[in-house]
Amino acid sequence: MTKKQPAAPAKKRVAPSAEPTSKGIDSYPLKVGTKAHPALGLGLWSLGRWTREDEVKTRTTVEHAIHAGVSWFDTAEVYGTGRSERLLGDVLSRSQNDGSQLFLTTKVSWEHLRAAQVRAAVVGSLQKLGRRTVDLVLVHAPDAHVPIAETMGALETLWKEGKVGAIGVSNFSLEELAAARAALQETDVVVNQVVYNLFDREDGDGVVDYCRQNGIVVEAYTPLLRGILAGRYLDGETPSPEVRRFAHHLLDRDRYDTLVAQARSIRELAKGEGIPMASIALHWLRRRGAAVLFGASRPEQVDEILDAWAHRPSDAVLDRADEIARGTPRA
């Protein structure tokens, strides 16, 4: 994505600031909607790509996450061709949690951005989730063949009807983000969800300053780069072809050895501080003002993330990790 800075539409916004919660997970106030945006949440991207047995495990994982205090859950109509939304909705219907304290996000597919398709997609998502409204709906990715004004206009109508608490986008460049905002008349974009982590920061760094200035939350997915920033693949195991395919080319052979060496240095930094390696990756993003979206397929993985979140590194440690990731460590 390009890093050229577009002129912001003439809409005065207040940048979000962190607010602590009783669960130890901070939140950002949103300029639209009635709920604050949690700083840490569980993404359900992998649901539906697995066997039935794996889905049972994931159901257990989601239930465990709710009981452990995770309140933000992110899904999409394309995840498992709807199975992800149905599973999440089923878990919520069986949970003693009525959902009022949860923050639910879903996405309209890039294949459904015409006005009638947007409405059908959102209504379908609500039915699968078993909800009358959802806290946040994102445009999953832009489609150059569909005018963004048509898509955003349809979403704004759904927002006026109360079916959508707030509107966001995903994988949008700065120019695309500015165009999406300009297309709205009575509300504004509150989120841009992008790939963002210590090693893969092109998208995140390109939008984070603009979003901070305009009160838009940056949601960071793949915060641990498929596990490398939690220590995976650093002791002989190699990424599968599928993992490589979804790693933004960072795991290509010509970059892999350098990346692993840098990750090992960050692991040693974490060991020296007596904290989980993932703590550095998560809180580097948190310091940048991003909301962090992690993945998990087992309850213990949720616990590991929450433990890493509970250990906040010093600014000096985060600065050092940043230098290592940039390839400019001090002597």
pLDDT 10s digits, 223-269: 999 899 999 989 877 776 766 666 666 677 678 889 999 999 999 99
Known active-site residue 79: yes
Q: Tens digits of per-residue pLDDT, 273-299?
A: 999 999 999 999 999 999 999 999 899
CB 64 within 8 A of CB 305: no
DSSP 3-state of 61: helix
Going by DSSP bridges, is the β-strand pair 167-170/189-195 parallel, antiparallel, or unpaired? parallel
Q: What gap in Å lies between CA 145 and CA 150, rounded to an integer?
A: 11
- 284 φ, ψ to 5°? -60, -45
Q: What gap in Å lies between CA 329 and CA 65, rounded to an integer?
A: 37
Q: Residue type at 285?
A: L
Instruction: Indicate whether 13 pLDDT > 70.
Output: no
H or E segment and range at residue 295: strand 290-295
CB 284 within 8 A of CB 318: yes
Locate tokens 């939690």: which residue?
230
Instruction: Indicate whether 5 pLDDT > 90.
Output: no
Which band of pLDDT confidence, cut at 50, 70 and 90, is reported for residue 51? confident
Locate tokens 């960072």: which residue?
250
What is the pLDDT at residue 297? 85
CB 193 within 8 A of CB 171: yes
Which band of pLDDT confidence, cut at 50, 70 and 90, is reported for residue 12? very low
Superfamily of domain covering 27-195: NADP-dependent oxidoreductase domain (3.20.20.100)
Q: Active site residue: 28, 79, 196, 221, which one?
A: 79
